[in-house]
């Protein structure tokens, strides 16, 4: 079984069924790596870098990414419950980290105050996720469950929320210019204005 070491650089490696639950890793660099069926729940990644990596069917629930950097990373069919993404290191000069979350469970995550433009969420559970004060303009949030997600002063300019559902957000308190919603779900936006629709 592969053992991850502090300050090590990993390039073009595949990690399969790696058990790293509750472990801690510092200053490691992963570039063009693939993680399959790995358990990183409750793990702490401090000052690590993930570049051009893929996670498939991994558990990263309650993992901490303290001062870690992410660039062009895809998570597919993975659990990321309760992750506080605000602890990661997001360079101010790059507003598009090229993150993709496909068919993931991200219940209870926090993106509070972050600028992460053009992120892609697809068929992902975003229940109880904190998007307040964040900039997700030009993002794709497709066919996602947004029940109890928090939106306040959130920038969703030109974002595509087609087929996403169960959300509640104020058109007065968020930037929604150019955003796309499915027709039926867009009616939720009118409710925040106190408008009643009749047949």
Digit-coded pLDDT (tens) for 32-59:
999 999 999 999 999 999 999 999 999 9
Vertex 12: Cα angle to 109 and 62 (nearest 5): 20
- The pTM of this model reads 0.93
Mean pLDDT lowest for which of 30-39, 121-130, 138-147, 185-194?
Answer: 185-194
pLDDT of residue 2: 66
Report the percentage of the chain scoring pLDDT > 70: 95
pLDDT in tens, 99-112: 999 999 999 999 99
Q: Which helix (H) or strand (E) holds 115?
A: none
> What integer is the mean pLDDT of 132-153?
97
Q: What is the pLDDT of residue 173?
A: 94
Band (189; pLDDT cuts 50, 70, 90): confident
**Does position 61 have pLDDT exceeding 70, yes or no?**
yes
Find the range with the poorest average confidence among 55-59, 140-144, 158-162, 185-189. 185-189
- Say what the pLDDT of residue 16 is: 96
Chain segment 165-188, per-residue pLDDT in tens? 999 899 999 999 999 999 888 777
d(Cα 128, Cα 84) in Å, to the nearest integer? 12
pLDDT at 1: 46
Give me the domains of the chain, ranges plus CATH numbers.
12-72 (no CATH), 90-199 (2.160.20.80)
Quick one: pLDDT at residue 198? 67
For the chain, what's the residue count?
199
For the chain, strand residue ranges (E) read 9-11, 14-16, 24-26, 29-31, 34-36, 44-46, 49-56, 69-76, 99-102, 120-122, 140-142, 160-161, 180-181
Q: Contact, 32 vs 9, CB < 8 A?
A: no
pLDDT at 35: 98
Give mean pLDDT, residues 83-93: 93
């Amino acid at each position: 079984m592969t053992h991850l070491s502090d300050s090590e650089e990993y390039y073009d490696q595949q990690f399969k069924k790696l058990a790293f639950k509750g472990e801690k890793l510092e200053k490691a660099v992963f570039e063009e790596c693939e993680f399959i069926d790995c358990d990183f729940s409750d793990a702490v990644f401090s000052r690590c870098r993930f570049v051009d990596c893929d996670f498939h069917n991994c558990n990263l629930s309650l993992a901490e990414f303290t001062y870690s950097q992410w660039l062009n990373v895809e998570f597919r069919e993975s659990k990321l419950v309760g992750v506080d993404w605000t602890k990661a290191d997001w360079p101010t000069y790059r507003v598009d980290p090229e993150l993709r979350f496909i068919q993931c469970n991200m219940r209870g995550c926090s993106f509070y105050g972050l600028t992460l433009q053009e992120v892609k969420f697809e068929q992902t559970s975003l229940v109880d996720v904190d998007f307040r004060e964040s900039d997700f303009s030009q993002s794709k949030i497709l066919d996602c469950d947004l029940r109890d997600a928090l939106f306040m002063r959130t920038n969703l300019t030109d974002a595509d929320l087609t087929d996403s559902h169960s959300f509640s957000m104020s058109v007065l308190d968020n930037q929604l210019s150019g955003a796309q919603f499915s027709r039926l779900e867009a009616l939720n936006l009118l409710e925040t204005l106190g408008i009643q629709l009749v047949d």
